[in-house]
Amino acid sequence: MVAELISGLEYSKKVLTDVGIHIAETRKSHPNFNSVLAIVQVGNRSDSNVYVGAKIKKAKEIGAEGRLIKLPSSITQGDLEREIKALNLDNEIDGIIIQLPLDCNNNIDADHVIDMIDPLKDVDGLTRMNAGRLMRGELQRTIFPCTPFGCLYLVQQATGDKNYVAGKEVVVLGRSKIVGAPAAQLFLWHHATVTICHSKTKNIKEKCLQADILIVAIGKKHFVKGDWIKPGAVVIDCGINVDEPTEEGKKSKLHGDVDFEAAKEVAGFITPVPGGVGPMTVAMLIRNTFEQAKRRRLHHEFDE
Amino acid sequence: MVAELISGLEYSKKVLTDVGIHIAETRKSHPNFNSVLAIVQVGNRSDSNVYVGAKIKKAKEIGAEGRLIKLPSSITQGDLEREIKALNLDNEIDGIIIQLPLDCNNNIDADHVIDMIDPLKDVDGLTRMNAGRLMRGELQRTIFPCTPFGCLYLVQQATGDKNYVAGKEVVVLGRSKIVGAPAAQLFLWHHATVTICHSKTKNIKEKCLQADILIVAIGKKHFVKGDWIKPGAVVIDCGINVDEPTEEGKKSKLHGDVDFEAAKEVAGFITPVPGGVGPMTVAMLIRNTFEQAKRRRLHHEFDE
Ligand SMILES: NC(=O)C1=CN([C@@H]2O[C@H](COP(=O)(O)OP(=O)(O)OC[C@H]3O[C@@H](n4cnc5c(N)ncnc54)[C@H](OP(=O)(O)O)[C@@H]3O)[C@@H](O)[C@H]2O)C=CC1
Ligand SMILES: NC(=O)C1=CN([C@@H]2O[C@H](COP(=O)(O)OP(=O)(O)OC[C@H]3O[C@@H](n4cnc5c(N)ncnc54)[C@H](OP(=O)(O)O)[C@@H]3O)[C@@H](O)[C@H]2O)C=CC1
């Protein structure tokens, strides 16, 4: 083993503890201050129940709050939109997320519903308005999507250098709205030279070999091989691929998009799966909610 | 000379003629159909006067219309915003652009004013809403920024292949809101593997040498040298660098960001300056206005 392991589990605890301290600090001068995340869940998927439960628990642990708005799977687009509008107007709510995928009997345009979230209460950075700001490098005016933000934070913390990204070659595998596309933008505006690869990319191994920092988000178990990694590179693996258990009573196993065992012999730093990017996403969600709460409740530096 | 010259002058005429034919066609079934571009000019810069004049003239030539809204340089942000709001509501107006740079005595947040343009009347693709849609690959719902759109069109036309971009390596030099950043997105969503370079990029020559298609938009005369070009590459030079005349009575001379004389010996296709990307920008503006007119007046495929 050459690479230093980046423990997202540990770093996520640090982020959450820090937010907790800041909330407590803020309450000294603003006793009624709160940081409330509204989680809109449609239907009753068991995996969604687990994720939602984890978010609410983490928020509570640090003195913030998560509120579940659980809606029946029979809900219509119009009614779901009305729920979002009500949350936008609710002065007690600081952040709104829609738990995906929706478990709904009706055809719902989830992008459209997400886009109705007030950009000031958007904590996933998934509204088009905030995506547009990110694309244009207006970092002070937007909110960073949670998973890419977690990736950036891990690179900065692991290397011990807030400006590590600047001037580096970053290769992003994947261009989804949630991970790949915003990750590319976030690293670009932290001044990396960024290359974006996807399913139409031809020489993906060569591209990976150029990366000082490799961000992988494609959803294919062990897709990136050990000999695709530039020696010393920082490898951030967002992939969550589930091996269903073959025997009853056994737990399902999680795998990343990177062949971890081979890659860790070459990389300088590497995130494991599980315990890498995954826990960072929840931590950044709670941190983003706190940022929006400060902006909205205390008019902290946000010149909308 | 190895490279085939890409005449933006010729292609821009083709685009404009096509739009003219389409407008005439549309009027057969919708006699009152029009395609009206409102150009908001603050102050009286002489270069702006020239550009505005050219846009209105080109629009008129093909049976569309350009209207100048010329505002005094004493205008305030509030009054400028009210002008935009009025144009948003004016049923006769299909497209709105703000001629930059503003010539104004007051401090005006131009980005904010641009962002007030109704995304349905945005024909520069510069509102954050449309920038966000482009970043997420929602090509049917957005409008392409004119200069990047011109670049894409030139590549497709010169190579004779609408899908030429897919799977190619595209390197974009520059990440401005107007050219570099949206060009990277536009080529990405036409399925290129895209690398974005800027002033913090370290090995820019090496990056350029990997490009099947090189898009240059940095504003530095002859920055890209002949030996930075991959043999056979398509080179699109957006740069407009003005050599002021040294003698009175002489005309100022325009130069691109690419050392054209050297690059044309290596490239497969190359745009000249002037007569390359420049004229395409105006043509795409008039084309975009027509697209928005169809969407708004005839409810053509735009599911907002
Ligand atoms: N850690 C966390 O908290 C989170 C983890 N994830 C995980 O990250 C992974 C990616 O998620 P997400 O972005 O939502 O996935 P999507 O399926 O939305 O996107 C996958 C992307 O990978 C690209 N891709 C697919 N196959 C290949 C290939 N063979 N070569 C190159 N590129 C390819 C696709 O390209 P194209 O665009 O051409 O189709 C697409 O851009 C998943 O494993 C997911 O579970 C996601 C969100 C949060
Ligand atoms: N044909 C047409 O119709 C149009 C032409 N243009 C022309 O295109 C050119 C670019 O315009 P615009 O995008 O508005 O310019 P900007 O000045 O807004 O952006 C320039 C970009 O180039 C980058 N850059 C500057 N110097 C270097 C360098 N030495 N190496 C690498 N990158 C560098 C900058 O990087 P960083 O972000 O790090 O500062 C920045 O991203 C200009 O010549 C302009 O006149 C523009 C609009 C329309």
**Are A108 and A43 spatial neighbours (Cβ–Cβ below 8 Å)?**
no
pTM of the full structure: 0.96
A interface with B, Cβ–Cβ below 8 Å: 111, 127-138, 166-167, 175, 177, 181, 185, 188, 191-198, 200-202, 207
Give the closest-approach CA distance of B187 to chain A in angstroms: 11
Asked whether residue B123 carries a pLDDT value surpassing 70, the answer given is yes
List helix spans (H) across B69-176.
77-89, 110-115, 128-135, 146-159
Summarize the confidence of residues A2-18 as an average pLDDT.
97
Fold entry, domain A144-278: Rossmann fold (3.40.50)
B30-118 is classed CATH 3.40.50.10860: yes
Most A CBs within 10 A among B193, B230, B302, hence the mutation to make, goes to B193
State the burial class of residue A131 (Cβ atoms within 10 Å of its Cβ: 0-12, 13-18, 19+). buried
CB atoms within 10 A of CB B121: 25
Summarize the confidence of residues A162-169 as an average pLDDT.
98
Asked whether residue A302 carries a pLDDT value surpassing 70, the answer given is no
Asked whether residue A303 carries a pLDDT value surpassing 60, the answer given is no
Selecting from A127, A132, A175 the residue whose C-beta is nearest the C-beta of B188 gives: A175
Asked whether residue B1 carries a pLDDT value surpassing 90, the answer given is no
Whether a cis peptide bond, with omega within 30° of 0, leads into A274 is yes
Q: Which of B225, B240, B243 to mutate to test the pocket of ligand 2 (most atoms within 8 A of CB)?
A: B240
Tokens of A59: 């928020």
Can you give chain A as a three-state secondary structure string?
Answer: CCCEECCHHHHHHHHHHHHHHHHHHHHHHCCCCCCEEEEEEECCCHHHHHHHHHHHHHHHHCCCEEEEEEECCCCCHHHHHHHHHHHHHCCCCCEEEECCCCCCCCCCCHHHHHHCCCCCCECCCCCHHHHHHHHCCCCCCCCCCHHHHHHHHHHHHHHCCCCCCCCCEEEEECCCCCCHHHHHHHHHCCCCEEEEECCCCCCHHHHHHCCCEEEECCCCCCCECHHHCCCCCEEEECCCEEECCCCCCCCCEEECCECHHHHCCCCCEECCCCCCHHHHHHHHHHHHHHHHHHHHHHCCCCCC
Whole-number pLDDT of residue B301 = 56
Summarize the confidence of residues A219-232 as an average pLDDT.
98
**Are B165 and B152 spatial neighbours (Cβ–Cβ below 8 Å)?**
yes
Give the closest-approach CA distance of B112 to chain A in angstroms: 9
Pick the atom of ligand 1 nearest to A180's CA. Answer: 13
Residues with CB under 6 A from ligand 2: B 147, 173-176, 178-180, 197-201, 204, 217-220, 238-241, 277-278, 281
Whole-number pLDDT of residue A43 = 97
Summarize the confidence of residues B143-166 as an average pLDDT.
98
Q: Which of A55, A97, A176 to mutate to test the pocket of ligand 1 (most atoms within 8 A of CB)?
A: A176
Test B167 with A202 for CB contact under 8 angstroms: yes
CB atoms within 10 A of CB A162: 11
Band (pLDDT 50/70/90 cuts) for residue A301 is low
Which of helix, strand or coil describes residue B88?
A: helix
Test A193 with B196 for CB contact under 8 angstroms: yes
Ligand 2: centre distance to CA B283 (Å): 21
Q: State the Cα–Cα distance between residues A36 and B276, nearest whole angstrom.
A: 53
Q: Which residue is closest to A180 within chain B, CA to CA?
A: B136
- DSSP string spanning B44-75? --HHHHHHHHHHHHHHHHTT-EEEEEEE-TT-
Whole-number pLDDT of residue B111 = 93
Selecting from B111, B138, B195 the residue whose C-beta is nearest the C-beta of A195 gives: B195
CA A47-A185-B143 angle, to 5 degrees, is 100
Q: State the Cα–Cα distance between residues A7 and B70, nearest whole angstrom.
A: 59
Test B167 with A130 for CB contact under 8 angstroms: no
**Are A99 and A51 spatial neighbours (Cβ–Cβ below 8 Å)?**
yes
Whole-number pLDDT of residue A247 = 80
Q: Which of A52, A238, A254, A285 to mutate to test the pocket of ligand 1 (most atoms within 8 A of CB)?
A: A238
Q: Which residue is closest to A210 within chain B, CA to CA?
A: B207
- Share of residues in chain B with pLDDT > 70 (%): 98
Asked whether residue B115 carries a pLDDT value surpassing 60, the answer given is yes
Summarize the confidence of residues A279-302 as an average pLDDT.
91
Question: Poorest-confidence range of A280-284, A286-290, B296-300?
Answer: B296-300
Q: Which residue has the tokens 């951030």?
A: A236
Average pLDDT, chain B: 96
For residue B188, the chain A residues in CB contact (below 8 A) are 175, 196, 198
Whole-number pLDDT of residue B302 = 45
Ligand 1, atom 39: nearest CA belongs to which residue? A199
Question: Poorest-confidence range of A39-43, A85-89, A244-248, B9-13?
Answer: A244-248
Whole-number pLDDT of residue B77 = 96
**Are A288 and A143 spatial neighbours (Cβ–Cβ below 8 Å)?**
yes
Test B137 with A167 for CB contact under 8 angstroms: no
Give the closest-approach CA distance of A196 to chain B in angstroms: 5
Instruction: Return residue ranges of chain A for CATH 3.40.50.10860.
Output: 30-118
Ligand 2, atom 16: nearest CA belongs to which residue? B176
**Are A292 and A143 spatial neighbours (Cβ–Cβ below 8 Å)?**
yes
Ligand 2, atom 40: nearest CA belongs to which residue? B174
Ligand 1: centre distance to CA A236 (Å): 13
Please report the ipTM that was assigned to this predicted complex.
0.96
Tokens of B16: 């404009």
Summarize the confidence of residues A14-39 as an average pLDDT.
97
Residues with CB under 6 A from ligand 1: A 147, 173-176, 178-180, 197-201, 204, 217-220, 238-241, 277-278, 281
Instruction: Return residue ranges of chain A for CATH 3.40.50.720.
Output: 144-278
Tokens of B251: 């005309």
Summarize the confidence of residues A105-119 as an average pLDDT.
95
**Position B242, amino acid:** V
Is B55 tagged catalytic?
A: yes
Give the closest-approach CA distance of A249 to chain B in angstroms: 41
